[in-house]
Amino acid sequence: MSGKARVERGGGGPAGGGAASAPFRAGSPCLQAPAETSMGVSWAVSGLAKGLVEYADNPAFLNPRVARGVGLGPVPIDDAALQVRIVGLKPATRYWYRTITTPFAEYPNAYLARPGEPVASAVHSFTTLGAAARGRFCMICDTHASWPAYRLVCRALKALEPTVVVWNGDAAGPSTQTKREAVGAFLDPPVEDADWAADAPALFTCGNHDVRGSWPSRLGEVMLPRDPSERRGDQWDLKWNFAVRLGDMALVGLDTGEDKPDAHPMWFGLAAFEPYRRKQAEWLAEQLRRSDIAEAKAKVAFCHIPLFAAPDHPDHPHDGTRIDPDDYAYWSRECAELWGPILADAGVRLVVCGHKHRFRYDPPTADRPWAQVVGGGPDLGTLRGRPDDTLFPTVVEGWTEGDALRLRVHDVHRGRVVLDETLPPA
């Protein structure tokens, strides 16, 4: 390895939570926004620091290259989280990497700054995406900074070793109101095995709780948006929407936004999700026509709020269209009407959702050719102190076997598989 740096072995607890005299700490790296030729890396820091990523295409870490910051211009410094985007990578290729973090002992101004001792992470690896990148996805959702449940989710991810993890919304907790709290929820949670993201990159989709409160305007400083080169200028606001290949699968991420109409008084005029959903419909149709996406044997879409509830299901009346203080979207009629026909026409086989905190599976029908699976939430078998066996956190696992799409849903609370399904070709 190049350079001289103290190796950081990690440790529990969000960065910056101790006294001012506590030693500087750099959190475990979190891979984000994976693509065929780029990879994002974010990590928590406990004080003002700068950071870089060393990476190599060999496990001996010979001739490593260096990536600094995101985009062009000055390299950012921050006292809560650092971000680097590695570009110019080869598709379906394994790379080894480590972060190097340098805290500032003093920073009265740019002329008098005094860097401290660099801290190196352990060496980890990742594989870029692409049609030749065989693997499987896992989907997690509604973690809500609930550490007992998230600990079980992390343990399952470490055991399953997915190629990528789709974090399908509502990572934020009800008290996530500052950037440092967001760093604790997304990057540096105080649980064992939370370093799964050092080796399995996260494809992030927003949930309704991830856009609430006073901090979401800085969400991109914690969860790295997609590389702007992936889209046209008029689509730059679709920051986390993704359409990527993972071997024979095409994975597509959408943002259902808030669970109430934009005109609802509780938003105080801060919501503009209806035009956002319409712009995503335009983007979705374009992405599904891309040759690499269209040629995939199995197309899977991810969004936080479900796109379907049967007319005889208790969720059906709660479609997110009414301005009612006691009602919200159990499923999104607007998104279903905008995106459902596009998904069906493109041969999408599966839609994976969260939001309801209860596992559910809706098989495909003649009128709705895509299946829908809804993941569970943070509750561990109880609701308001009463036993409820329908409440458990899940990890949804998917991969291809020939032309078929395999779907497996794990109840990580009881350690059981609640769904093992094979979806035939579209």
In a domain? residue 280: yes
pLDDT at position 5 is 64
In a domain? residue 231: yes
pLDDT at position 18 is 40
**Of 127, 149, 167, the domain-final residue:** 127
pLDDT at position 21 is 62
pLDDT at position 4 is 52
Q: Are residues 303 and 243 in the same domain?
A: yes
Q: Are residues 327 and 221 in the same domain?
A: yes
- Is the confidence at residue 11, as pLDDT, over 60? no
pLDDT at position 6 is 57
In a domain? residue 287: yes
In a domain? residue 1: no
Residue 18 burial (CB count, 10 A): 12
- Is the confidence at residue 91, as pLDDT, over 90? yes
Residue 356, strand partner residues: none
**Amino acid letter, residue 138:** C
pLDDT tens per residue, range 119-129: 999 999 999 99
Residue 182 burial (CB count, 10 A): 26
Residue 124, strand partner residues: 97
pLDDT at position 40 is 98
241 burial (CB, 10 Å; 0-12 / 13-18 / 19+) is buried
Q: Are residues 32 and 148 in the same domain?
A: no
Question: For residue 63, what is the domain's CATH number?
Answer: 2.60.40.10
Tally of domains in the chain = 2
Q: Are residues 150 and 232 in the same domain?
A: yes
pLDDT tens per residue, range 197-233: 999 999 999 999 999 877 777 899 999 999 999 999 9
**Do residues 172 and 182 make contact, with C-beta atoms less than 8 angstroms apart?**
yes
Percent composition of the chain: helix, strand, coil (DSSP 3-state, to 5):
20, 30, 55
Q: Are residues 122 and 51 in the same domain?
A: yes
Tell me which residue of 418, 420, 413, 374 sits closest to 399, measured CA to CA. Answer: 420
- Is the confidence at residue 161, as pLDDT, over 50? yes
Q: Are residues 146 and 217 in the same domain?
A: yes
Q: Where are the alpha helices (DSSP H) in 305-374?
A: 333-345
**Of 127, 152, 186, the domain-final residue:** 127
Query: CA angle, corner 355, sides to 354 and 360, nearest 5?
Result: 55
* Count of residues in the chain: 426
In a domain? residue 47: yes
Q: Are residues 107 and 160 in the same domain?
A: no
In a domain? residue 132: no
In a domain? residue 409: yes
Write phi, then psi, for 182 (nearest 5 degrees).
-65, -40
First to last CA, the chain: 48
Residue 285 burial (CB count, 10 A): 15
**Of 81, 107, 127, the domain-final residue:** 127
Looking at per-residue confidence, does 22 or 172 come out higher? 172
Cα 97 to Cα 25, 75, 302: the distances in Å are: 19, 19, 28
In a domain? residue 278: yes
Q: pTM here? A: 0.94
pLDDT at position 1 is 38
pLDDT at position 2 is 42
Rounded to the nearest integer, the mean pLDDT of the chain is: 93
pLDDT at position 10 is 45
pLDDT at position 7 is 53
Q: Are residues 46 and 118 in the same domain?
A: yes
Q: Are residues 35 and 157 in the same domain?
A: no
CA pair distance 69, 77, nearest whole angstrom:
9
Q: Are residues 366 and 236 in the same domain?
A: yes
Half-sphere exposure at residue 149, Cβ-oriented, CA atoms within 13 angstroms: 24
pLDDT at position 212 is 87
Q: Are residues 44 and 87 in the same domain?
A: yes
Question: For residue 263, what is the domain's CATH number?
Answer: 3.60.21.10
pLDDT at position 176 is 82
Q: Are residues 212 and 327 in the same domain?
A: yes
Q: Which domain holds residue 108?
A: 6-17+26-127
Percent of the chain with pLDDT strictly greater than 70:
95
